[in-house]
Amino acid sequence: MPAFFVTGTDTDVGKTTVAVAMLHAASAQGYSTLGLKPIAAGCEMTADGLRNSDALALLAASTSPKLIYDEVNPVALPEACSPHIAARLANRRITAAQLTGYVRGSLSRRAQLTLVEGAGGWRVPINDRELLSSVAKELNLPVILVVGLRLGCLNAAILTAEAILRDGLKLAGWVGNHLAADWPHAADNLATLNSLLPAPCLGIVPWQPAATPSDRAQTLNLTALSLPTLS
């Protein structure tokens, strides 16, 4: 069943916003869905243990039955910083092999669309030697790139796309996410992204802070992902 790795041009560019909207778009078409965030830094202690708001949003948007939080987010770290620093502060050693194993276990649920959301950007470290991109490489997942639409995003998007392709992975598509109400020369910038990114645009999410995931799902087109035909 199709699974994709969701990365971003930087941290705080809307990876979760887009991933949740994609899950809603797919489920509205009748697909079973699963959202995963194998490692999350910036978790709050609750009565149920450490919880991350992004992972909780993915859990709520997933239709896979009897899904528990630890399947969505097996590595939860308190400090809101780079995963390798957050892990060190928590006295934990996280490896790409561990994260890959966790994701493979959850993929056994065989949802018709699974999204594995990264942390930060493509080259974020998870320990002193390994990067989170190694997990996507080991799983051989096609990648969906979330471009935070703001000044500087052209360079960040092009460099990230080049790195994904250099790692031997397919860039399945990209989604633009407006990070402010006003983005000068928006049309020209979007035309440049469409011209230079070697993948189809799956949608442009407007700046609408009060929008629901279902609202944002209306701005996306998942056709290019070639999801299975429903019987």
pLDDT 10s digits, 114-154 = 999 999 999 999 999 999 999 999 999 999 999 999 999 99
Which CATH number covers residue 30? 3.40.50.300
Measured torsion, CA atoms of residues 34, 40, 43, 48, in degrees rounded to the nearest 10: 40
Does the structure show a pLDDT above 80 at 231? no
Per-residue pLDDT tens digits for 22-70: 999 999 999 999 999 999 999 999 999 999 999 999 999 999 988 999 9
The reported pLDDT for the residue numbered 8 is: 98
Residue 56 inside a domain? The answer is yes
pTM attached to this predicted model: 0.97
Residue 213, domain member (yes or no)? yes
Range of the domain at 9: 3-225
Is the residue at 175 inside a domain?
yes
Residue 228 pLDDT > 90: no
Number of domains in the chain: 1
Query: Does the annotation mark 37 as catalytic?
Result: yes
Selected catalytic residue, list 15, 37, 66, 137: 37
* Residues near 70 by beta carbon (within 8 Å), at least 6 away in sequence: none
Instruction: Say yes or no to pLDDT of 1 above 80.
Output: no
